Amino acid sequence: MPLYYIDVRSRFGVDEDCDGVDLPDLAAARVEVLRIGHRLLERWTEMPPDARSEIIIEVIDERLKKVLRVSLPEIQQGSFVG
């Protein structure tokens, strides 16, 4: 099973996934990004909209190639459906 690293970037820094997660494919990684994004939105409801707009979730594959990049506003607006 492929290994994917899911990093969260914001103006405050990078929360880098050093361990990675085994997922069957990129489609499963997209579902994981949605799950993480919704969890962030729940936790950070009080965060100013401009700060939320700068939050990016990136997926890097086991070859260390960036394969997906999604902003929190894309998840919030439903324009990223996984």
Domain annotation covers residue 62 = yes
Domain annotation covers residue 82 = no
73 CB burial (10 A radius; 0-12, 13-18, 19+): middle
For 2-58, write each residue's pLDDT tens digit.
999 999 998 888 999 999 999 999 999 999 999 999 898 887 777 777 777 788 999
Give the count of domains, the chain: 1
48 is in which domain, residue-wise?
3-77
Which pTM does this prediction carry?
0.84
pLDDT of residue 77: 77
